[in-house]
Structure 1
Amino acid sequence: MKQWRKMLRIIFGRTTFLVVSLIFQIIVLLSCFRLLSEYFTYVYGGFVILSAAVVIFIINRQQAPDYKLAWIVPVLVFPVFGALFYLFMELQPGTKRIADRLRDIIKETQIYLQQDVSVEERLQKESQRIGSLARYMNCYGGYPVYENTYAEYFPSGEELFPVLKEKLRNAKDFIFLEYFIIERGKMWNEILEILEEKAKNGVEIRVMYDGMCSLMLLPYHYPRKLEEKGIRCKMFSPVKPALSSYQNNRDHRKILVIDGHTAFTGGINLADEYINEKKRFGYWKDVALMLQGDGVKSFTMMFLQMWEITETKKEDYGFYLPPMSRFKNWLPEGSGFVMPYGDSPLDHETVGEHVYTDILYQAKRYVHIMTPYLILDNDMVTALTYAAKRGVETVIIMPHIPDKKYAYILARSYYKELLEAGVKIYEFTPGFVHAKIYVSDDEKAVVGTINMDYRSFYLHFECAAYLYKNHAVADVEKDFQNTLNQCEEITLEVWRKYPLLSRITGSVLRLFAPLM
């Protein structure tokens, strides 16, 4: 009986309705284009000219060559459908409105993210190269570099969870949560219990999660339930039954801010597999980072910038940026420099990828990487192979048990050229790696939400923290080595044993990788 009820919920559920609606729209579009091509020769000729114009437009856009090619092929192969579909996806008024609104908000918040000149000067004395990166990030990413920031690294969700709950219980003024995934279960239920109690005691709580959760994980009107508990809540970009490029731009960030002095980020969402209470793909390897001190300011502003996109009432940003002197009696002492940053798909500045490639080009001894996905553009392939070719130990840890079969096959299509250049690849045999880390030369590390794929680099809202000469860098490297001990090395001999069909499929998928 339960199975029948479950099946009926799936058949008549919102997700099924959404998928059927999208498929119906695509079928209607294809039918219309087919009629035009078959019965209106002069119209079809006009579309051929339009396709040529679209190809010229794509070639001259400031985009990655791989992304351009992924669009040019369908436009040329399907002159009618390809050209109109491209124009339909690119000329979305909703996306432009969001981009304009976000641009205005960033201008409003610039005053709160000014670079401390004395910090910048000290960083320049430590390293002109890192100083140049910080200058770029401040000018084009909008985020400064900080001192006086303590960082603590967590090599698993199980180690993070009790600390997260402790910090939430100690909140006095406000709590901000922004996550790609929230799913009911042990992790979220225990956090929600704390949030409810805090809301009753007058602590301001705001929760924002990506609209994809409404498909399978949470009821569509779940924000109303939280509002009834005194918790302000919203979905970012609710998924709707309509073709739209805006629905491609997901909020992939993981940010938790407490009272303006403590922040968490990393790969860990609020669902049970992230603390290994639920087994999906073997052991779930993930990581997180806690910041306390000056650097929390950037994560606070990242959250408020995203929250304000759909708000009409002007926000008092300064209220949520308390001076750290208020907490000096208990805040732990930080070391080195910390640069939290966000990445937006709407500003055409791929800061997430630029930070990764900067590490690869500056590395002297090693670059160690963990990533769940490996869907690379030409710039990233060049940076990885060049690092290895000039003698830098370049090591990537990937999952051995994938969460998405197509992504796994696609990732393996890059193995051969990377291995031939000297890049070392390992797969984590106990399960799935969801961590996103870079660590290099015992002095710099990045921990955040940014995967090594097109979606993270070009389509999603992301965030991370860059650490330079911070004590937590050593903890990131230690975790990498511990994880490496649980991995199988992938050599060219191993790669050659992969099924031929799998290798061919991966090669074909690479053509469409930028759109996946």
Structure 2
Amino acid sequence: MKKARKLLRIIFGRTAFVVMSLLLQISILLAGFRFLSHYMVYIYGGFTLLSAFVILYVVNKDENPSFKLAWIIPITVIPVFGTLLYLFLELQWEGKIINRRLRENISDTQPYLKQNPRYMEQLAKTSRSNANLAAYIENSGSYPVYGSTNVKYYPVGEEMFEDMKKELEKAKRFIFMEYFIVERGEMWDSILEILERKVTEGVEVRFMYDGMCCLVLLPYSYPKELRSKGLKAKMFAPIRPALSTYQNNRDHRKILVIDGHTAFTGGINLADEYINRKVRFGHWKDTGIMVKGDAVTSFTMMFLQMWNITEKEPEDYGRYLRDPEFFYPPELSMEGFVIPYGDSPLDQETVGELVYLDIINTARNYVHIMTPYLILNYELVQALQFAAKRGVETIIIMPHIPDKEYAFLLAKAHYEELIRAGVQIYEYTPGFVHAKVFTSDDEKAVVGTINMDYRSLYLHFECAAYIYRNEVIKDVERDFKETLAKSQVITLEECRHYPWYKKFAGRVLRLFAPLM
């Protein structure tokens, strides 16, 4: 009965309305093309010329060649539909407005994200190449490098969930939360109960989640319900019944900030599968970190930059810095360097991809990766292959039980070319890997929200922390080895015996992967 009611809510709810509206718009477009087909003799030449100009524009556009190829094919094969679709999407204005607002917010937060020259000097003395990377991240998004920061690593969501609750209970001034997926259940209900109590204690709570949740997981009016409980709540980019590229840029970040002194990030969303209270694809292997110290300021400002995209009143950013009277426990290790950073799909700066490429290209002994998806462009394939060919131990852990069949087909389309070059690929046999983790040479690590696929690298708002010579790196690497022990190696022989129709499907999907 419960499942039947849920199905009826989906059928007669907003999700069905959105889907039907989109299908109606597509039908109108197709009907328009059909109508035009009667006059194709007269206008085909015009569209052929227009297609040629569009292709010339695409070829000369400053973007990834994979995206260019994915567009050139439909424009060439179906010039009328392909050309009009490209022009329709290219002329969208919502993304430009969001980008302008985000740039303004980043500019407003710059006074609070000034680089401490002492940390940069220390990093430069330790490693010139890492200082160069830090300079790039600061120049691209105003995210400085920090010392005086403690990082705790969580190899599973269950452990992080317990610490999230403990830290939330300690909140005195404010709580900021920004998540991609929220679903009612043990995890979210427990956190919401704490947030409601904290509001009554005078703690300011801001909660923002991605609008994709309104399709199935939460009612469209859920922010209003949360506001009635005293929380400041909103959806980022609610799904609307209109064809738009704006709706393709999702907020994939996971950020929790408490009083400006403690922050959490990683792959862990607010739903029960992330803490293995609900089984979906076997054991859910996910990771995250808790950050305490100076670097929390970047996560605070990162949240406020996104929150204020839709706000009209000016923000007093200085109110949300760490209280100067707050002191961290003396037993916390504050060694090494931490760079929290965000990545926007609207600024033409692929920070997430370039940080990954820097780690791969500068690795001396090993680079170890956990990722749920492996949908790679030419640059990442070449970097991974070259690392393996020059003797760097290059290992990737993937899920054995996928959550999306098309993504698994795409990943397997890369297996053989990587393995032939010496890259080792393992699949986590107990279930699904949702972790987004890099470690290299016992001195570098990245933990965050950024998958190795086109959506994360080019289409989503993302965040992560680059960690250098911090004690936590040994914990990240230990977890990688323990996960590797539970995984099975993929051999060339297995790749060659993979069903031909799945190979073919994967190769076809690779052609359109940038647009998926």
Per-residue CA deviations over 1:450-509 (Å, capped at 9, x if unaligned) read 000000010000000010000000000000000001001001011112111000100000
Per-residue CA deviations over 1:39-90 (Å, capped at 9, x if unaligned) read 2433332222111111111111111111110111111111011111111111
Q: Residues 240-279 of structure 1 correspond to what in structure 2 (within 5 A)? A: 240-279=240-279
**SS of the residue aligned with 1:425?**
strand
2:315 equivalent in structure 1: 315
2:414 equivalent in structure 1: 414
Amino acid in structure 1 at the alignment position of 2:184: R
Q: 1:382 to 1:205 in 2, by over 3 A?
A: same
Greater Cα offset, 55-64 or 259-268: 55-64
Amino acid in structure 2 at the alignment position of 1:493: E
**SS of the residue aligned with 1:375?**
coil
2:183 equivalent in structure 1: 183
Number of corresponding residues:
516
Amino acid in structure 2 at the alignment position of 1:492: L
**SS of the residue aligned with 1:16?**
helix
RMSD over aligned Cα, in angstroms?
A: 1.2
Per-residue CA deviations over 1:1-20 (Å, capped at 9, x if unaligned) read 55543443232121112112
CA distance in 2, matches of 1:314, 1:154: 36
Q: 1:302 to 1:2 in 2, by over 3 A?
A: closer
Greater Cα offset, 39-48 or 209-218: 39-48
Per-residue CA deviations over 1:411-446 (Å, capped at 9, x if unaligned) read 000001100110000000100000000000000000
CA distance in 1, matches of 2:125, 2:383: 26
**SS of the residue aligned with 1:143?**
coil
CA distance in 1, matches of 2:404, 2:373: 9
Q: Residues 433-512 of structure 1 correspond to what in structure 2 (within 5 A)? A: 433-512=433-512
Deviation of 1:109 (Å): 1.2
**SS of the residue aligned with 1:268?**
coil
Deviation of 1:328 (Å): 4.1
Greater Cα offset, 316-325 or 393-402: 316-325
1:133 equivalent in structure 2: 133
- Ranges of 4+ aligned residues in structure 1 off by more than 6 Å: none
Greater Cα offset, 32-41 or 231-240: 32-41
CA distance in 1, matches of 2:16, 2:228: 28
**SS of the residue aligned with 2:22?**
helix
Deviation of 1:104 (Å): 1.2
CA distance in 1, matches of 2:44, 2:37: 5
CA distance in 2, matches of 1:336, 1:167: 23
CA distance in 2, matches of 1:304, 1:248: 22
Which consecutive residues of structure 1, in runs of 5 or more, have no partner in the other structure?
none
Identical positions, percent: 62
Contact 1:261 1:324 in 2 (8 A): no
Q: Does 1:41 align with 2:38?
A: no
Greater Cα offset, 92-101 or 460-469: 92-101
Contact 2:10 2:216 in 1 (8 A): no
CA distance in 1, matches of 2:292, 2:330: 10
Contact 2:381 2:418 in 1 (8 A): yes
Contact 2:262 2:290 in 1 (8 A): yes
Greater Cα offset, 250-259 or 67-76: 67-76
Contact 1:376 1:453 in 2 (8 A): yes
Q: Does 1:5 align with 2:5?
A: yes
CA distance in 2, matches of 1:330, 1:301: 26
Greater Cα offset, 410-419 or 133-142: 133-142
Deviation of 1:331 (Å): 7.8
CA distance in 2, matches of 1:330, 1:250: 39
**SS of the residue aligned with 1:340?**
strand
2:170 equivalent in structure 1: 170
Q: 1:324 to 1:471 in 2, by over 3 A?
A: farther
**SS of the residue aligned with 1:309?**
coil
Deviation of 1:118 (Å): 1.3
Amino acid in structure 1 at the alignment position of 2:94: G
Contact 1:400 1:431 in 2 (8 A): yes
Contact 1:292 1:331 in 2 (8 A): no
Amino acid in structure 1 at the alignment position of 2:198: K
1:23 equivalent in structure 2: 23
**SS of the residue aligned with 1:310?**
coil
Contact 2:89 2:245 in 1 (8 A): yes
**SS of the residue aligned with 1:230?**
coil
**SS of the residue aligned with 1:327?**
coil
CA distance in 1, matches of 2:173, 2:8: 44
Contact 2:366 2:394 in 1 (8 A): yes
CA distance in 2, matches of 1:321, 1:117: 19
Per-residue CA deviations over 1:126-171 (Å, capped at 9, x if unaligned) read 0000000001111113210000000000000111111110000000
2:302 equivalent in structure 1: 302
Greater Cα offset, 36-45 or 428-437: 36-45
What TM-score results when the alignment is normalised by the length of structure 2?
0.98
Which consecutive residues of structure 2, in runs of 5 or more, have no partner in the other structure?
none
Q: Does 1:336 align with 2:363?
A: no
1:429 equivalent in structure 2: 429
2:67 equivalent in structure 1: 67
Amino acid in structure 1 at the alignment position of 2:342: G
Deviation of 1:330 (Å): 5.8
What TM-score results when the alignment is normalised by the length of structure 1?
0.98
1:122 equivalent in structure 2: 122
